[in-house]
Amino acid sequence: MRRKEGWQNCSPWVKVMVADCGRYFAERRREVEARLEQLVPAQPLPGCPATLNAAMRYSLLAGGKRLRPLLLLAAADTVADSCGRFVDFACALEMIHAFSLIHDDLPAMDDDDYRRGRLTNHKVFGEAMAILAGDGLLAAAFEVMAAVPAVGAEKKIGVIREIAAATGLSGMVAGQVLDMEAEGKAISAEQLRTVHAQKTGALFVAAVRCGGILAGADREQLAALTEFGRKFGLAFQISDDVLDVCGDRDKLGKPVGSDDKNAKSTYVTLYGLDTARQLAGRTLDEAQAALDGFGPQAALLTFLVEQMRNRDH
């Protein structure tokens, strides 16, 4: 793979960051948190009712790994020095992720009472407000992306298209439907893979692809990031299933065994715990291998792969 000029001429700052990935991600996370706090501020923006604002903030600012935003930012810096211009796109991804969690937790859906160690949105604000908080976050995500000043319209349209597709009918929403329809049924490994490729995988893939698009990735680089996103997302899901069986309730912030309660097919029910663990490891190896062409700047995404290997929540 050809190295992009953009990165060769990058600022010394990015070179330091690649050498010190822990600090890079801590910094990016702080930026994302700070920007989310501005995008949905404690003092509601004009026209936004206080209750709606509170409901959105409750879920959006509840911590979490911010994995999708970090994937977008790291993918961009893997291709070229992004100089922090893409944080609003990263935040938009997190708003869409928060929307999906709020709606998935609803009584009509997974009916969950806890998320990240706190009551779920509808338990605090009621069902109607939770539905609307999700709707509001989804719409606001597109508003935020369309409004970014320092990025050209062509790139913004490319990213909006990727993210809308990953959210909707061939992505997250479709995956949630398949997931619900599979409940209580024995499904094949192939079917399980399809469910998760849409429900969680699509947004991971969109995160790294959008980082690439924004940073001006060429076709080959975009293909490598796509492959990385697919494998990384799959490994995330397998490790989720493993943690649901043998994780620590306090670290997870939700009860273990919820898949079992909901009679869900998982990588553990399908393969057994040990094989599922091995599968997660092999899939992470494949994610890593997809980064080969990027040279030293692959260090950023590699760091996330290693974190996923040692994931306990």
Provide the binding-site residues for a second copy, judged by CB under 8 A. Answer: 44-49, 51-53, 56, 99, 103, 106, 108-109, 126-129, 131-132, 134-136, 138-140, 142-143, 146-147, 152-154, 156-158, 160-161, 164-165, 167-171, 173-174, 176-178, 180-181, 198
Instruction: Provide, rounded to whole angstroms, the least separation between the CB of residue 67 and a second copy.
Output: 20
Q: Closer CB to a second copy, residue 143 or residue 306? A: 143
Instruction: Provide, rounded to whole angstroms, the least separation between the CB of residue 128 and a second copy.
Output: 4
The dihedral through the CA atoms of 145, 146, 150, 151 has a sign that is positive
Instruction: Provide, rounded to whole angstroms, the least separation between the CB of residue 122 and a second copy.
Output: 8
Instruction: Provide, rounded to whole angstroms, the least separation between the CB of residue 83 and a second copy.
Output: 21
Q: Closer CB to a second copy, residue 147 or residue 289? A: 147
Q: Closer CB to a second copy, residue 151 or residue 256? A: 151
Instruction: Provide, rounded to whole angstroms, the least separation between the CB of residue 109 and a second copy.
Output: 5
